[in-house]
Amino acid sequence: MSSATLSTPVRVPPAASGRPTGPVARADQRAYVRLLVVLDTAVLCVAVLAGYAARFGDHTPIGSEIPYVLVAPGLVLTWLVSLKALRCYDDRVLGYGADEYRRVGTASLRLAGGIAIAGYIADVGVSRGFLGISFAFGTLALVVTRFAARKRLHLARYRGDGWSRRVLVVGDTAHVLELVHTLRREPYAGYQVVGACIPDALLAPVPQRLSDVPVVGSLRGVPEAASAIGADTVAVTASGELTAARLRRLGWQLEGTGIDLVVAPALTDVAGPRIHTRPVAGLPLIHVEAPEFRGARKLVKELVDRTAAALALLLALPVLAVLALAIRLDSRGPVLFRQTRVGQGGREFGVLKFRTMVVNADALRAELAARNETDGLMFKMRADPRVTRVGRLLRKYSLDELPQLVNVLLGQMSLVGPRPPLPSEVARYDGDVARRLLVKPGMTGLWQVSGRSDLSWEDGIRLDLYYVENWSLAADLTILWKTFGAVVRGRGAY
C-alpha cells in the first residue's frame, strides 16, 4: 500500500481516559514501591528484635564478644539490600502473581544461607538461635505484609484509583479486542488499556473505537501514540503487518523511553510453569509442556485429598449435626440430598449435599424454566421459590456442600477441581468442554473463588478448563485459601 492511501492516525489527548496519565501514574507506582520499602523495613526491625528477645530475653548475653547492638541493624540493612538485589521491588512483579512472594522468600533464604556459611568459615559466634528466629519470623512476616499491601492495591484498582499500568494494545482488530477482554477479566492485575494501534488499512479519518478503547494511531506510529496517551506499556498481539523485523525495530524505538514492551502470544490460558522459552537461531521459541493427568503428583494429590477430607469430617461433626437438626426442623423431607453427577472419565456417582429445597423441587423446575437467569446449560435463579429458609443460609455460605467430604473420602471427588456437572449437561458437551471430565470434580475450584453463580456459562467453562490444563498442588492450596474468603463474603451464592 502506498503512503498516499494511508489515513491520518487519530490522536486522543491524555486526559480523555479520565485517569492519571504519564508522570502521575508513575508517581503512583513509586509511591507503592516506597510503601513496600517502609513496610519491609518495619517488619525486619520487629523480626530482629523478636529474635533477640526470644533468644536472650531482656538481658545482654554474658561473656559474648558479639556487639548485637551493631549486628541487629546491620542484619536489617543487609536483608533490605538482599531484597533489592533479587529485584523484590521490580514493578513488573508487584501486585500480581506468585513471583513477588517467591523472590522475597528466595532473597531471605539465600541471605540466611550466606550468613551461616560465612559465620562458619570466619568462626564468628553469632547466636544461631537469634539468627534462626529472626529469619523464620521475618520471612513469614514479609510475605504476610506483601499480601496485605497487595490486597489493598487490588481494592484500589477495583475502585479505579489504584496504581495500574497504562497499556497501549497493538495488533489486528480481532486480536486487540480479544486481548482487551482478557486483561479486563482481572482488573486487579493492574493492566488498564488506554488505547489501541491497528493496521494502516483499517484506520478511518474520523475518531474510532474498538469496543470502548480509542484507536490512537497505526502500527507505524506506536512510540508516538504511546507517548501521546501517557502509556507506560505497549502490548503487542498478533498482526500480519508486525513482522519480526518491525517488532525488533519497535523494541529499539522504545529504548530509553521508560515504556515497556510486552508480547502477548496467541496461546492463552496456559500457566507459567508449563511454558519454557528456548532460544533457537535467535528466535525465542516457546515450548509448552503437555498437561499432567497421571503420575506421582496425582497420587500425592489423591493422598492429600482423602487425608484432609477425613480430618475435616471429624472436626466438622458437631457442625454437621447442628445443620442436620436445623434442616429437619425447618421443612419436611430428608436431611441429605443425593444427586447423580458425572465425575472423572464420565463415570456417574451420587453427590451428597444438605437438602436446601422442598422435596418436589425437580418436578417444579419445568415450571420455572422460563425464569432461568443464567446462560449455557445450567439453571440458576436468585430468588428460587423452591429454596427453604434454612436452605438460603446454607447456600449463601456453601454449608450445604459439606457432606461432599464423604465423596472426597471415597475418591469420587477432589477438594479442588471443576464443578461436578449433571448428566443432562454432559450429554450436550462439545469436544472442548468435555475436557472437564479429565480430572475429578471438586468441592471448590476457580469458579468458586471467581464469582460462583454470578459467572456466565462461558467464563465458568473457561476457568474449569484452565484448571484442568494447569493444576498444581500449590494452586490447590491457593484456591482453598481463597475459598474461605469467597464463602465468608457470600458473593455469587444463590
Q: Using CB atoms within 10 A of its CB, is residue 448 exposed (0-12), middle (13-18) or buried (19+)? A: buried
The answer to whether residue 14 scores a pLDDT higher than 50 is no
Query: Average of pLDDT values for 49-55?
Result: 86
Query: Bigger pLDDT: 381 or 80?
Result: 80
Query: Bigger pLDDT: 250 or 280?
Result: 250
pLDDT per position as a tens digit, 148-160: 999 999 888 888 7
What residues have CB less than 8 Å from 210, skipping those under 6 apart? 173, 176, 177, 180, 196, 198
Give the pLDDT score at 374.
61
Place of cell 480481532: 174
300/119 Cα distance (integer angstroms): 38
Per DSSP, helices labelled H in 57-67 are: none
Kindly report the three-state secondary structure assignment for every residue of 293-344. CCCHHHHHHHHHHHHHHHHHHHHHHHHHHHHHHHHHHHCCCCCEEEEEEECH
Percent of the chain with pLDDT over 90: 32
Give the pLDDT score at 8.
38
The answer to whether residue 484 scores a pLDDT higher than 60 is yes
The answer to whether residue 443 scores a pLDDT higher than 90 is yes
- Dihedral sign from CA coordinates of 106, 83, 38, 149: negative
462/443 Cα distance (integer angstroms): 18
- At residue 197, φ and ψ (nearest 5 deg) are -120, 130
Vertex 269, ends 264 and 274: CA angle to 5°? 90
Per residue in 392-416, is it b (16+ CB within 10 Å) or e — as a string? ebbbbebbbbbbbbebbbeebbbbb
- The C-alpha cell of 296 is what? 506421582
Mean pLDDT lowest among 6-10, 270-274, 420-424, 440-444: 6-10
User: Residue 196 is which amino acid?
Assistant: A
Query: Average of pLDDT values for 256-274?
Result: 76
Query: Bigger pLDDT: 203 or 377?
Result: 203
> Contact 291/460 with Cβ under 8 angstroms?
no
pLDDT per position as a tens digit, 189-233: 888 899 999 988 777 778 888 888 999 988 888 999 999 998 989
| Residue 371 confidence class, pLDDT cut points 50, 70, 90 | low
Strand-pairing partners, residue 263, are: 236
The answer to whether residue 83 scores a pLDDT higher than 50 is yes
- Please give the mean pLDDT across all residues of the chain: 82
The answer to whether residue 433 scores a pLDDT higher than 80 is yes
61/175 Cα distance (integer angstroms): 66
Place of cell 486487540: 176
Give the pLDDT score at 3.
34
- The C-alpha cell of 172 is what? 489486528
Query: Average of pLDDT values for 393-407?
Result: 90
Give the pLDDT score at 382.
65
CA atoms within 13 A on the CB side of 190: 25
Give the pLDDT score at 435.
85
Give the pLDDT score at 276.
65
Give the pLDDT score at 159.
82
All domains of the chain, ordered by start, with CATH?
A: 23-159 (no CATH), 165-268 (3.40.50.720), 296-489 (no CATH)
The answer to whether residue 414 scores a pLDDT higher than 50 is yes
